Every structure is written in structure tokens, then in C-alpha cells.
Structure 1
Amino acid sequence: MTTTITQPKVYPLFGSDLTLRKEGKRNLQWLSDLVKASPTATFILHRSLGRRSVISGNPANVEHILKTRFSNYVKGSTFFDTLSDFLGRGIFNADGDTWKFQRKVASHEFNTKSLRNFIEHVVDTELLDRLVPILASAAQEDKTLDFQDILQRFSFDNICKIAFGFDAECLTPSEERKEFAIAFDEATQISSRRFHEPFSLIWKVKRALNIGSEKRMRMAVKVVHEYANNIVREKKKELKKKASLESMDMLSRFLSSGHSDEDFVRDMVISFILAGKDTTSSALTWFFWLLSKNPHVEKEIVNEIMEKSEAPVYDEVKEMVYTNAALCESMRLYPPVAVDSKEAVDDDVLPDGTVVKKGMMVTYHVYAMGRMESIWGDDWAEFKPERWLEKDESGKWKFVGRDPFTYPVFQAGPRICLGKEMAFMQMKRLVAAILRRFIVIPAAEDGDPQYVGFLTTLMEGGFPVKILHRHG
């Protein structure tokens, strides 16, 4: 059955924002349907007060925005104003020289030596000392866990160790979340909801009056900033005491580069926590849910894990080709960042002929692109890791990547994600550690969970699971 998609009605003053608001948590799917229904996979969304936005899932347009005319498409003033209370001048919220500096310093954290250290020490310690015992206990006691929450805590601890050289101890047997982690989640969600207000004046008035969600936002940001500033001060003291540190975390690198402005350094680190915390946990949440629906894929992954079990940890994760393909396939259907927007510096015309005026927001819809028949074929709805693989001469699987403008899950062009390889290695190591020992079974009622988007995406209501020991 074919569903007819009609363009949203445009109202005076409000544009299509009333429809967007009415769709609520479904607005990601609604916008995705509009992109897929367009002959060029691009349409103009009329916003309030006469503003217009371009929404596209066209790979040629994505390449134009992220690479060809990179300098013309920036984060811009709207993005900065909306997120600056929380993210300040951090890389996630920065353009120009501020962005370039942070990217250059951070790039040192993603070399082979750092990756090996991250996997063999940071991730493995977190897995074996904390995560595996929690899952073993849940299996023993037949306890239901919110697996999304567990994965968020795991990622939070890991990124704090990389970013701060600090153990947040969020993943512990205790049911209580650390104040910093709770405040971080609240600030992320309220910041994201600001984008969905029909008029920015609404949240700005609430902020000025310190009421409602903006009051909670102010309190959450205060907790995050104070906590992060304390860590920056402690790291400064540590650097003064030691002539050189054996391992340089990201915070040490920033401070050693000569930047003494505490707030600026704090903003940089908060952005990296945001980039590394919820993206990997979101990807893994949907990955384990998809495995539960596709036992033949889980069987292939378990076979691969068992074959590699004698290999050193770093080599094991490097060689998990089928698992790598399954993760790519999972993120195609459920990307951790569903949409990304840029602001046009000057007038432009996209490759499909769409006219862009100075100041317009241009959004590429990653979620829609992962579900387009024109890109993935008529079997796009299937969870099929094999679409990323081919057999080599010896009959072994060989990974075949897609170009990043067709699959912009990690962005593309000059802003392509620095932590892409680190994310894959962390996820593969976690998958190996869990599936070698346990079976993860969804405990919720039948039916697909809701995919909801903030700055990163979540499974609404969490992911309740039962953990069983894997025998044999």
C-alpha cells in the first residue's frame, strides 16, 4: 500500500510550524516522509515569521554543503544562540578559527597509539570491572535492566576518561545517577527542544523570567559548568606538579597548548563529551534491539567473536568485519544524529536546483537518507549487514564502505567526525564482551520502540531487557 504524502499547509505568520509542533515526537518521521516523497529528495519548509529552511536527503546536495561549498555553510548565529548557554564556544557550536584550533588539538587524541591505549585500558577496564559484573548480577537475579541507561553510563565514563582524564564513576552497581550526568542529560534535552519552538522569543522570555524548562536549564547548566570547571582547575594543578605526563588526555592537551581561559577550555571538553557520550550509546541501544529481531545476524556475530577470542584485544576488534558491517547497518536505520543543520553565509544554488538565500538554514536529513530506495534499493527496510560486505579471493568477508555523502552518519568533509574509528572500536569491543557471555532479550511489549531526536537520538522510555548467560 502506497501512502500519499502531501506538502504541509502554510499558515500566515506561523508557516508550517503548527503542523511541525502537532507532529510532536513524530516530526522526524514526518520530515523524513516529505524528503522521500520529493522528486529531488529536497523540499522547502516554511517556518514562522516568513523564514524558510531547506530539508534535503540528496547526496549531491550533502556533498555541496559539507565539502564543495563548506565555507558557505556554517553553524551560524541561530545554532550558536540556541546552544551557547550549554556548549559555549565548544567545537560542536563553533565556526572559523575557534573550530579549527579545537579540531587541531583534539586530532592528536585519535592516533593509533591513543586508540590502542583507549581500547586496552580505558574500555576494557570499564567493561570487565563494571559492565560485565552488572550484567552477570542481573542474569543471576533475573532482574530487568534499562539497557539504554546502562550504555549511556558506560559511554559517559569512557568519554570522561578520554576528555578529562577523570573517572566519573557513573557505571556502578548503584541505581543513583551522578549529579553531573543527570544535569548533562537535562541540559542536552532542553537545549534541543528550543529548536522546536515556533518562535525563539518563547524560550528567550522563559529564560529571562527564569521559569519552567528554562529555570531547569539554568540549574542544570550551573551544575555541569561548576563540575567541569573544578575538573579543569584540578588538571591545572596536576600539570604544574609534573614536568610531563605519561598520557595526555584531551584536557591536558588543551591546557598545554597555552589556553588558560577556564571557560573556553571547559566549553571544549563539554562539546567532546556530548559528541562521544550519547552517540555511541544511542547506536548500541538500537543495535542490540535489531539483533533481538534478527537472530541470524546475532548468530553470525557470535561466530565471529568466538573465532577471534584468542586474539589480543586491539587486534580482535580491528578484525571484526561482520560486526563492523552490522553496526553500520544499524546506524543506517537509526543514526545517532538524525539531522544536522547549517546556515548559509551567502546566496547559493544547490546541485538539484534548490535556491538558497543568505541566512537560510539548510538541513540534511540523515535518518531519511538511510531509508531511501534510490540509495539502498528496494530492500532498504531490511537489516542486512551483507550490503556492506563482499567475499575476497579466499572466501572471507571484506568490508565495503559507502561514501560519506551517501551515508553522512559521521558527517563528511572538513567536519567529519574525528572520533569515528574510536567509536567503532569501542562499540565492537563492547559487543564482543557482552555477546561472548550473555544474551540480551527485550523485556517490553511487542511493537517497535519510538525513535526520538534531541541533539542525539534516544529510544523513548528506555530499553528494558533481561540478561541471560550464554552457554556453549
Structure 2
Amino acid sequence: MEIVYIIFSSFSSILILITIPFSLIMLKIYFGKSIRNPKYAPVVGTVFSQLFYFSTLHDYLSDIARKHRTFRLLAPDQSELYTTDVRNIEYILKTNFDNYTKGDYNKDIIRDLFGNGIFAVDGVKWKQQRKLASLEFSTRVLREFSCAVFRTNATKLVRIVSRFAKINEAFDVQNLLMRAGLDSIFKVGFGVDLNCLDGSNEEGNSFINAFDDSNALTYWRYVDPLWKLKRFLNIGYEASLRKNIKQLSDIIFKLISKRREQLENQQHNIHKEDILSRFLVESKKNSEMNDQYLMDIILNFILAGKDSGANTLSWFFYMLCKNPSIQDKVVSEIQEHIGYQEIGSKVEDFVELINDEVLEKMHYLHATLSETLRLYPAVPVDGRVANTDDILPDGYELKKGDGVYYMSYAMGRMSYIWGDDAEDFKPERWLNDYGVFQPESPFKFTAFHAGPRICLGRDFSYRQMKIVSIALLHFFRFELGYKTRKVSYKTMFTLLHFLNYQYKLTDVCVYPHMDVISYCICY
């Protein structure tokens, strides 16, 4: 009887230890949030409720957005407003730009991974990095250098896919695109040949895995109320995150050291084709720009350069497989402006024909890439935090410290923004009656952000995607191997194409245009 009592007593103590903190957290979440006040956006749950829908989070938020253009999820210290209202988005990103910053809440979550990089800072540091990056992206040197790099990697991609196609061997299309994207951003951004695409650099493979895992694990913090405790104790996924970030740091610090040595050896003949070199030169004038700061900058540019291009291309080829008539139109446009090369012609000869003049004529390709970004934006959710109490254009009030997040993924699916065919893949929506591409307002099409912080690499990204897609679509035709299977994504800061191995989703067959029909399945 005594033993039973002791066990029961211990269980009661544990239950109390769990119940009291939980009750305090819930009280803090709901107290003082004006839940029933119509001046504030309707409450549909707490930030922690997202945990139950995490694997399909963006679709969950889209379902709510169909009922409420602006709504709230409650957090312990603030409310988090989510909106698809174009007026609100223009207001926080442009009209009242100075009142909306990254906020301490977001900075706390992303600081371990992105540190003081351009996506994680405001004020002086943001302006400093923005100015230097802007100078770099505006140079003709970068444009010519980047195009040469993109052509080189596109040629490598064609050769690799061709080998797989001829022997009917399985391969992973997205993985190839990720490798090519990483090679491109390392060469263009940091002047380094990573050689990840051809598989000769295992460090590159490790970098991709560590970076994507860190991306996903950091995003998980938004739904885990105990992440700070886990980080302090170095347990669970926080231990994995710390290990991954350490691995990334080691690789990047070595890269910085190598690039600095190269620049020192060049002395008066310093080549500044890449972004890192420009920042290294600037670091000599600014003592705050130490190696840690440079690492933060690099990680932020890798996020922008690798994920925006490679992720979008992955979704792009998937949508072409789902819509073969659209793929035929893109191929026809390529043949119209470049021509059809004879069997046996060199890949390099064709790729060299993809110049700026040709890219400017590719209106349908540009529209198809934009349509892909509309439905599958590289960054599905982004936002800001209010520095003072404010009232949004839709009339809802918010308090100092409240977050306002715009949902690019959800926006692309809203009929009240894009019409009744919003969920259809329709490149023609971007073309006028003469077949010329017509851009939309960046506050409606938010794939590249908007306002003063609009993405500097937008044209850079389009150029990369066009060169790669033209090369691959000229030599191969892509089809779905299992047409009834569906595709999902991995919930993280970027919309990574996720192959659900439980159902073996998204298998792609590749057919060379200029060879005997053979195919390979991509897992």
C-alpha cells in the first residue's frame, strides 16, 4: 500500500510540474490580447497550434486566408497577424516602412543561423550591406561573369542528365538543380569553384545537407515554446542545429581565409568579380566587419542564391510535367529564337547561343517562371514587426511588438487577388494581347519581396533560371513517371520541393529530343 502511495504521489508531482507552467503560458498567451474586440483582427488560434499542421502549414494558412484576409495567431508576448490584403502589404513594406522591422522575436529565432546578415538585420547594418550588394549587382562585370558561370553549369547539367537518360538509371532532378545552384552562387558570390555538381567535392554535399537541415530546424522554433531551453541544454533538435551550424561555419571560415589570401597575393591586381571580394575590401575600412560578420553575410546570400533559383526550377519542371502543352509552348519559343540544333552538335555550342538578346525575347518562358513563383514562391511567408501601435489599411489595429506576416504562398491561391482561376497554372495571365510579358505589382506578386527591401538579385535569379531551363528543355522532354502521385513541400524558410518517400512521390522521366527514346526515373 505504501509503494502504491509513493508512485501515485510521484505521478501527481509530475502532473503538477507540467500543468502549472502550461497554465501560465496559456494565461500569458490570452491575457490582454483584445480577443473579442472587433478593432483587432479575428483570432483563429495560437502560434503553437501550427504544430498540428506543420507538415502542410502553408496550405493550412491558405485555408484560413480564404475566410479571413487578415487574422491573428496569439503568441505569449504579442499577436501575430497574417494577411493576404495587398493594401496591408504595401503599407508595411513601403508606405510606413520605417515603423516595421525584423523585430526581436524574429531575430532571436534566426540569429544563430543568419546572424547579422542582410535578411536578419535592420538599420545601419542593413543599409551597409544593401549598398555594397547593390553596387555589385549593378555592375556589368557581375552580369557577364554570372552568365558565363550559368552557361558552364547548364552545360554540365545537360551532360549529367544525358548520361542518366541513356542508361535508364534513377537520379534526383532536384538534387542536381540544388548542386548546380550552389556551385553558381559560390562562384559568382564568392569566387570559389565548389565543384559540387560533378560530385568531386564531398564538402559541397555536406554543405547542402547541413544548410537545408539548419533552415528547417531553425524554422521549427516558431512552433516550439521550449526551444530556448533545449538550446541551453543542447538537447534534441537544438543539438543537431548547433552541430550543423558549426559545420557550416568551418566551411565558410575556410572559404573566407582562402579568398583573403588570394586577394592579398594579387596585391594591386585585385579582381572584384565576386561579392565576397567586395566585402573583404570593405572590411579593411570597417573593423566591425570581422570574419563572423562576413560569414553571416555569406549564409544570407546562399539562402537567396541557391534556394530561390534551384527551388523554383524544381517546381517549374514539375509544373511542366503536369501541363505538357505548356512545356511544348516553351520548347517552341526556344526553337523560334535559337533554332533547332542538329543531332551531334556540341552542348557548349548551343549554350553559348543563350545570350542577353535571346533571353529578352523569351516572354513565354519568363511568364511560365513567374507563374511558378506565383504558386510556389521561394519564401512562402515573410513579414515585419510593428515598432509602435498602428492601424492597417484594412482597418485592423495592432500593438507595438505585434508581427505582420504576408503569405506569398496563400496569396497565389486567392481568387480575390488573381481571379477565379487563381489555382490554375496559367502563364498566359502574365502576357498581353501581343504575347509580351506584363509584370504585376510587387505587392501583389511578392515572390521577390517589395518596397525598399525588394530582392536585389531578382534579375540575377531570372537569368540563371532561364539559361538552365533553356538548356535542359532543348535537349530533353520531361514527363511524370507516376501521374497519380502528389507532391508536397518541406516546411522551412524556403519552399523546398519535398519528395514524400512514404508514397514515392514526384518521379520524373526524361526523354532526349535528339536520341532514341529512353528514360530515367527521379526519386
Structures share a fold, TM > 0.5?
A: yes
CA distance in 2, matches of 1:54, 1:45: 6
1:190 equivalent among 206, 217, 220: 217
Matched, 1:206 2:230: yes
- The answer to whether the aligner puts 1:93 opposite 2:123 as a matched pair is no
Deviates more, 1:370-379 or 1:443-452: 443-452
- Residue 489 of structure 2 corresponds to 451
Matched, 1:248 2:290: no
Distance 1:37 1:145 in 2: 41
Matching residue of 1:334: 376
Q: Deviations over 1:317-349 (max 9, x none)?
A: 222110000111111111111110211111110
| Matched residue, 1:368 | 410
SS at match of 1:433: helix
Cα 1:156/1:444, change in 2 over 3 Å: farther
Paired amino acid for 1:379: D
Question: The residue matched to 1:403 in structure 2 has which SS?
Answer: coil
Equivalent position amino acid for 2:494 in 1: T
Question: 1:160 matched to which residue of 2?
Answer: 186
- The aligned counterpart of 1:218 is 242
Instruction: Give the direction of change, closer, same or farther, for the CA distance of 1:119–1:299 in structure 2 (3 Å limit).
Output: farther
Superposition TM-score, scaled by structure 2 size: 0.83
Partner of 1:6: none
Match of 2:511 in 1: 468
Amino acid at match of 1:375: I
2:72 is paired with a residue whose SS is strand
Report the alpha carbon displacement of residue 147 of structure 1 after superposing the two structures with TM.
Answer: 1.3
Task: Name the stretch that deviates more: 107-116 or 260-269.
Answer: 107-116
Give unmatched runs, 5+ long, in structure 1. Answer: 1-9
- Which of 384, 391, 394 pairs up with 2:426? 384
Following superposition of structure 1 onto structure 2, how do residues 42-441 of structure 1 map, counting pairs within 5 Å? Answer: 42-47=70-75, 49=76, 51-111=78-138, 113-128=140-155, 130-173=156-199, 178-197=205-224, 199=225, 202-242=226-266, 243-257=268-282, 258-259=285-286, 260-309=289-338, 311-392=353-434, 397-441=435-479
Q: 1:455 and 1:269, CA in 2 relative to 1: closer, same or farther beyond 3 A?
A: same
Asked if 2 retains the 8 angstrom alpha-carbon contact of 1:142 and 1:466, the reply is no
Q: CA RMSD in A?
A: 2.0
| Equivalent-residue separation in structure 2 for 1:196 and 1:160 (angstroms) | 32
Stretches (4+) displaced over 6 A: none
Distance in 2 (CA, whole Å) between partners of 1:145 and 1:322 is 29
Task: Report the secondary structure of 2:432's partner residue.
Answer: strand
SS class of match (1:335): coil
Distance 2:481 2:136 in 1: 38
Asked if the contact 2:57/2:491 (under 8 Å) is kept, the reply is no
Asked if the contact 2:217–2:237 (Cα under 8 Å) also holds between the matched residues in 1, the reply is: yes
* 470 and 83 in structure 1: CA distance in 2 versus 1, 3 angstrom threshold: same
Give the residue type in structure 2 aligned to 1:430. V
Counterpart of 1:35? 65
- Distance in 2, Cα, partners of 1:175 & 1:35: 44
**Range 219-228 or range 177-186, more displaced:** 177-186
Contact 2:330 2:365 in 1 (8 A): yes
Deviates more, 1:131-140 or 1:176-185: 176-185
Task: Decide which structure has the larger Cα Rg and report it.
Answer: 2
The match for 2:55 is 25
Paired residues of 1:119 and 1:429 also in contact (CA < 8 A): no
Query: Would you say the 8 A contact 1:145–1:466 is kept in 2?
Result: no
Q: What does the per-residue CA deviation read over 1:120-172, in whole Å, with 9 as the maximum and x for residues that have no partner?
A: 311111111x2111100110111222211111111111111122111221111
| Partner deviation per Cα, 1:202-235 (whole Å, 9 max, x = no partner) | 1111111111211111111111111111111111
| 2:6 corresponds to | none
Aligned residue identity for 2:216:
Q
Distance in 1 between residues matched to 2:182 and 2:354, nearest whole Å: 25
The answer on whether the counterparts of 1:410 and 1:420 sit within 8 Å (CA) in structure 2 is yes
* Percent identical residues: 37
Counterparts of 1:32 and 1:161 in 2: how far apart (Å)? 37
> How many residues are aligned here?
452
How has the CA–CA distance of structure 1 residues 109 and 444 changed in structure 2, closer, same or farther, with 3 Å as cutoff? farther
